Amino acid sequence: MQGCDYRPQVQHWVRAYTRSPRHFLAKWTAALPLLEWVTDEIERRGLPAEFAMLPFVESDYRPLPARGKGSAGMWQIVPATASANGLRIGSDYDARLDLIDSTRVSLDLITDYYKEFADWRLADLAFNAGEFRIKKVLGERDARMLSAAELGKLPLRKVSHDHLDRLLALSCILADPTRFGVQLPEATADTRLAVVDLEAGMDLRLAARLANLPLDDLRLWNAAYRRDRMPESAPHRLMLPVSRIEAFRLAASSIPLAFWNDWHEEPAGRSGHLDSWAAQIGIPLDALAAANAMAVDARVTHTMRLLLPGAEPKRSRTADTQQFGHTAEHVIAAGDTLWTIARRHGLTLRALRAMNPQATGKLRIGGRLRLQADEG
């Protein structure tokens, strides 16, 4: 597709995206593992590389949870599209947030739209506005004969025209970043993801420990699991960096399958050697040590937090969310991050930050975060 010079509006978005080179680099650094997966799928299918920019246009490459019956995932798939394409949506698992399945369905749709309209520009517009809307506004016209200016005058919402302009603007920038004074992150074995099929469901908190990864990163790459555990009816697999897979498999092999899928974190509450906790719980010592990235003879202090097998204790409503008039608030507990709080309450991280501008540093246990904007 034409990129930088498609129409003047593309340059508007180029300037908007590159206004802050630091911010631009940070966003693409966060997106890189997901971007690499999508790019590989696009290349495998022989689709235009520009469509690797589509999740950035939709969501900044973030697997956003749905609010109510809205769209979800980095491709922002609506429930009707999910249902028509076999993507399961549930409280414990939402396939629209699954990197593999959401990418497959989205690229299938783009391919189908191209077959329908024979124009990649229309394929992108149909992804945003809907296939039937595009058919209606085109009428009997052949889209391939329309210039950029003529296409831009089709009676579609501005957001749909912006969608194509933004896609082309990002492609323009990534094709020659130095021209626009920005940098792109470099891919490494730590940013390339691969699928690890599991024999049974595994709690994400345990998986993060075994792979020696930040929990928030693992959740980002495996966002379809909404409650840190893998339901029986959902796929049992993990997206992990290629560089961590061998060590993960070795560590996982030390833990019996029966202990894989239900873990929780709690204060040790007492001092002693790790073997006393293993004996109390009835789990092999080497398994508990692996789950906590500790030596088998490690000594535990009463202030340490241990990852232990067993279901997460249920919080009371008053401990998790309190109502004050029409404004819901979350009471910060140990282990909470802005990401986990947003995910638990069905908010985007951006929305949570907007409602809590003071939450810029380390969260204070017992503090409160707003979950609803003031009415009016």
Catalytically annotated residues: 58
- What are 237's two structure tokens? 């697999």
Positive or negative, the CA dihedral 18, 22, 27, 33 is: positive
**What is the identity of the amino acid at 271?**
S
Inter-residue long-range contacts of 316-325, CB under 8 Å, 24+ positions, other chains counted: 321/345, 321/371, 322/368
* CA 227-229-234 angle, 5° bins: 100
Spatial separation of the C-alpha atoms in residues 363 and 273, rounded to whole Å? 30
Token pair of 82 as six digits: 């999910």
Q: Which residue bears the tokens 């590989």?
A: 40
Tokens found for residue 336:
């909470």
Residues 295, 288: Cα–Cα separation, whole Å: 10
Q: 238 with 202: CB under 8 angstroms? A: yes
Q: DSSP label at 253?
A: T
Q: Exposed, middle or buried by CB within 10 Å (0-12, 13-18, 19+), for 65?
A: buried
Show Cβ contacts of residue 349 under 8 Å, excluding neighbours closer than 6 positions: 62, 338, 339, 342
The rounded distance, in Å, linking the Cα atoms of 373 and 64 is: 19
User: Which amino acid, residue 169?
Assistant: A
Question: Helices marked H in 197-334 — which ranges?
Answer: 204-211, 215-221, 245-252, 274-281, 285-291, 317-320
Instruction: Find the helix or strand (DSSP H, E) in which 193 lies.
Output: strand 193-197
**Which residues, including other chains, have CB under 8 Å from residue 191's CB and lie 6 or more apart?**
32, 33, 36, 185, 241
CA 213/CA 204 separation, integer angstroms: 11
199 CB-contact burial (10 Å; exposed 0-12 / middle 13-18 / buried 19+): exposed
